Amino acid sequence: MSNFLPSVQSFLKGSAATAAGLSTVGVGLLLFGQNWLIYPSAFPPGSRTEVPLPTQFGLPFEDLELVTSDDIKIRCYLMLQRRDVDPIDNSGNTTREDADEEFASFRPTVIMFHGNGGNMGHRIPLAKVFYTKMRCNVLMVSYRGYGHSEGSPSEKGIRIDAQTALDYVTSNPTLNRTPIVLYGQSIGGAVSIDLASRNPSIIRALILENTFLSLPRLVPSALPPLAPFAFLCHQKWDSASKIPLIPPTTPILMLSGARDEVVPKQHMFELWKLVRAREGERKENRRAEEGVKEEEMEEEVQDVRTGGGSRFVNFPQGTHNDTCVQQGYWMIVAEFVARLGRSSGEAA
Q: What is the mean pLDDT of the chain?
A: 84
Note whether 268 and 276 are within 8 A (CB). no
pTM: 0.85
pLDDT number for residue 228: 78
Radius of gyration over alpha carbons of the chain, in Å? 21
Catalytic residue check, 114: no
DSSP state of 61: -
Catalytic residue check, 2: no
Residue 29 pLDDT > 80: no
Among candidate residues 47, 105, 260, 267, the one labeled active-site is 260
pLDDT number for residue 11: 33
- Residues 312, 102: Cα–Cα separation, whole Å: 34
What is the largest distance, in Å, between two alpha-carbon atoms of the chain?
A: 78
- Residues 341, 123: Cα–Cα separation, whole Å: 24
Note whether 218 and 263 are within 8 A (CB). yes
Catalytic residue check, 260: yes
pLDDT number for residue 289: 39
Span of 39-43, 196-200, 295-299, 313-317 with lowest mean pLDDT: 295-299
Q: Which domains does the chain have, with CATH numbers?
A: 8-279+296-344 (3.40.50.1820)
Residue 293: CB partners within 8 Å, gap ≥ 6? none
Residues linked to residue 255 through DSSP beta bridges, in sequence order: 209, 313
Burial class of residue 235, CB neighbours in 10 A (0-12, 13-18, 19+): buried
- C-alpha dist (Å) from residue 53 to 116, 125, 141: 19, 11, 13
Among candidate residues 2, 41, 186, 310, the one labeled active-site is 186
Model pLDDT for residues 69-108, shown as the tens digit of each residue: 999 999 999 999 998 744 444 444 445 667 788 999 999 9
Q: pLDDT class for 26, splitting at 50, 70, 90?
A: low
Q: pLDDT class for 202, splitting at 50, 70, 90?
A: very high
